[in-house]
Every structure is written in structure tokens, then in C-alpha cells.
Amino acid sequence: MALIVQKYGGTSVGTTERIKNVASKVCASREAGNDVVVVVSAMSGETNRLIGLAKDVNPKTPARELDVLLSTGEQVTIALLTMALEQLGCPARCYTGAQVRILTDSAHSKARIQDIDAEVIGNDLKQGRVVVVAGFQGVDETGAITTLGRGGSDTTAVALAAALGADECQIFTDVDGVYTTDPRVVSKARRLERITFEEMLEMASLGSKVLQIRAVEFAGKYKVPLRVLSSFKEGPGTLITFEDDDMEEPLISGIAFSRDEAKLTVLGCPDKPGIAWSILGPISEANIEVDMIVQNISNDGLTDFTFTVHRNDYDRALEILERTAKDMGAREVYGDTKIIKLSLVGVGMRSHAGVASLMFRSLADEGINIQMISTSEIKISVVVDEKYLELGVRALHTAFDLDDENGTATVEGS
């Protein structure tokens, strides 16, 4: 008998009919001899509706109370799914994150899971029940409800799979796997049979919406077999696995992009030791994550410093940066929210030169100016004007032969 953790996203449980469909899938897995734990998101659109209600009442919503409000979305879903399972003769019991003691830190709206008490779930499984758990939420050591951020139900599912020692964690969503890029942008995008944890981690961190980055981190750290599947059609999905010597290593596995970028620049700040910390320290203390960073060469003892943040954090980061810049005597601060990030990801980069030059040439041929560049062993990211998103992704998808089933681009030096 296998223990399977299944996660269903908001689209998969978006209506009562879809909830009934999920119940049928869960029952089928149980009837096949598996123990099943199900993690669900709020019904599609529900979280946005709740956020709208909060902003109508108070535009500067207290984070603690917002978490209390948003956690109710998943509570609705777990109750409805459990009712549907019982209707099919499949014994089930549902729990909120607090009830199964998903312990997190106290960073409201961005909480991180610290521990899970698997005893309650284990007892129900022994009694033959399907256990339905609310994703996206937990509780801190004071008993306050916390949420894990957008896509947090993925993290809940993988964390539960790790805590329970599950045989597989299956992420059911509205797509049938991980693609070379978003098929809505590139019609020739292909589903990948499998992808390494390392590549998936990069894809998730760089804007791919299929899985949340913390879910991939959990799965990789605790060696949880992870598979992305469709809620609406049968198929093998995409297996996320560890790299091994027998795996074929395509040069580029995928192209990720993020629309949620904003850029901040400090002009004419003193070029002295500690300047980077002076600028970024207050940003970090405000729990704002910084992504790409560029510091120009010093000129007459002054330098320019540019970095990117999530667009949702832009206003707060700008406010902090203006105070910091004034204190250090910098000349000017300005920002730009009309940018996007394009990224190439592939373990094959390790053994091939010329990837960057082909990327830059392909964008230049389309008249796309690169504003910032960041690289790692298996990825290259660039920041460009947001109007070039679709053109840039399509150009790179073609340049690296991802339109082709074989995906074997020839680059200079390879």
C-alpha cells in the first residue's frame, strides 16, 4: 500500500462540479489501494475576493488579521470536498492548518513551515479515512493563524509528504505538466517528460507559476518524489527528479519569465566600503527580498546602485530607499515598474559555452535592449522593458530550438 499526497489548486476546485470531480479522482486512488492525503487551495477567485473585501474596509490591512481572513478560503474547500467524498462512500475527515498543527514562523503572509505534527493525520489514515487538509496556512507558536503566500498550498502538500514519508506527492493543476515555457505565450511550447529539481527550482524562482519555489526546495531537501499532473485530463505529467548520469541533458530545458518585477536605482551615492549594506540593509530588515543587483564603477568617488524587487514591494521599498538615500547624501532615487525578467534554464549550460552570446544576439536581432544581467551555473536572466515580453520569449524559444522536439540548439563554442 502506497501513501500518496495529492494537491489540487484553485482552478481544480473552482466549482462544486469540479470539487465532485476531484472527489472521484481521490476515491479512485484510494480504491486502487493507496492511503491518500489531499491538500486543497481556495476556490479560484476566492482569495482575490477576500483581499478586495479587506481593502474596502481598510486599505492598509493589518497583516495578522488579513491572514485570519484569507485562511477561510481553504476552509470552505476542505469542508465541501470532504462532503463530496462522503457522498461517494469514501470516509474522510478535514482539517485546517492549525488543527493538524502546521507550525510556522510569525511572518504573516510569507510564513515558513517549521514543523508538522503528523500524528492526527496518521491516526485517521490507520482508520481508513482520506484526510483533507487546508493548504496555504498554518499557525505560529502563539496560536496566530499564518499564511504561506501565493502558491503556498504546494508547499503544504510537499511538507506533509515529507513529514508523512509519502511515496509520491502529486500536484494536480490546470496544466498537464511543466512546459518549456508558457504555452499561452508560445504555442509551440512542449511538455517536459521530466526535469531536475535544480532546474525546477530555478524555473520556479524565475517566474514559472507551475510550482512554488518553497515546494520545490522542500521536495529536493527531503527527497520527496514530485509529479505535476492535470486535474482535467489523464496523462503522465512531468516528473521532477534528481539529475543522474543517464539523463540526457538538453542545453536549455525552459524559458521562465516574471511580470512581477520592479527596479530601483540610487544615483550618486558615496562609493565607500559598506555602501551596499547601507542601501540593502534597511530593505532586508523590512522583509523585502532583493533579486538582481548592479553597482556601477566609481566616478569621482560616487557610484550608482540598482536592484530589483517584487512589484508588490515596490512602494514600500521606494519609501525606505528615499530615506536611506537622503541620509547618505545621494543625488537621486528613481524607480521603474514597467520591466520584466526573462530567464534561460538548463543543466546543459554546465558543459556548453556560448549560451549567453546566443541569448544576447537573439534579443538584439529583435531590437530588445538589455537593462540588467544575472547568471548562475544553470541560468541566465535579463531585465528588459515589459513591452518586449512575448517577443523576447518567442525569439529565445526559437533560437534555442525548443520549438523542435529534440531541443538541441547549436551555440558558439559547443
Q: Write out the binding residues.
A: 7-10, 47, 74, 173-174, 179, 184, 209-210
Q: Which helix (H) or strand (E) holds 21?
A: helix 16-31
Binding site residue list for ATP: 7-10, 173-174, 179, 184, 209-210
142 three-state secondary structure:
coil
Residue whose C-alpha is closest to residue 326's, from 279, 286, 381, 277: 279
Beta-bridge partner residues of 374:
381
Handedness of CA 52, 312, 208, 152 (dihedral sign): negative
Sheet holding 168-173, edge to edge: 92-95, 130-134, 35-40, 3-8, 168-173, 226-230, 238-241, 194-196
Angle between the N-to-C axes of helices 197-205 and 213-221, in degrees from 0 to 180, rounded to the nearest 10: 160
Binding site residue list for substrate: 47, 74
Residues 6+ apart with CB under 8 A from 201: 213, 216, 217, 220
Buried b (16+ CB within 10 A) or exposed e, 266-277: bbbbebeeebee
Give the CA angle between residues 405, 407, 412 to the nearest 5°.
155
CB 352 within 8 A of CB 413: yes
Beta-bridge partner residues of 134:
40
**Parallel/antiparallel/unpaired status of strands 238-241 and 302-310:** unpaired
Residue 279 Ramachandran class (φ > 0 left, ψ -120 to 50 alpha, else beta): alpha
CB 265 within 8 A of CB 333: yes
Binning the chain into helix, strand and coil, the percentages to the nearest 5 are 35, 25, 35
Residue 273 to residues 285, 303, 321, 333, Cα–Cα distance (Å): 20, 12, 18, 20
267 three-state secondary structure:
strand
Residue 300 to residues 223, 270, 293, 296, 307, Cα–Cα distance (Å): 52, 9, 21, 12, 22
CB 404 within 8 A of CB 380: no
